[in-house]
Amino acid sequence: MQWRVSARVDGRCMSCRQRQFNELRDLCSAGGVARAIDLAFEYFAHFGRDDEIIDLLARAIDDTGVAGRARQRFVELCASHD
């Protein structure tokens, strides 16, 4: 069983969902798009589909020119959580 966990950042409470979103965003910003796509599968399993994540990953793919397997994983991610 997974417990909902929150953390404090700058005195504010941050949900597990928000922390995971921030992690995906940071990975994309750092060029770790393939890893972010893999983590998004786990994220969606826990929290359901999130169009904001889909948009984030799509922009990151376009911005970084990711090709091949990462693009295929993104297509699978989108299809698996429609």
pTM of the model: 0.77
Q: What is the pLDDT of residues 3-40, one digit of tens each?
A: 444 455 555 677 888 888 899 999 999 989 999 999 99
Long-range contacts at 67-74 (CB < 8 A, ≥ 24 apart): 69/34, 70/33, 70/34, 70/37, 73/34, 73/37, 73/38, 74/37
What the block records as the tokens of 50 is 């999130």
Model pLDDT, residue 33: 94
SS3 5: coil
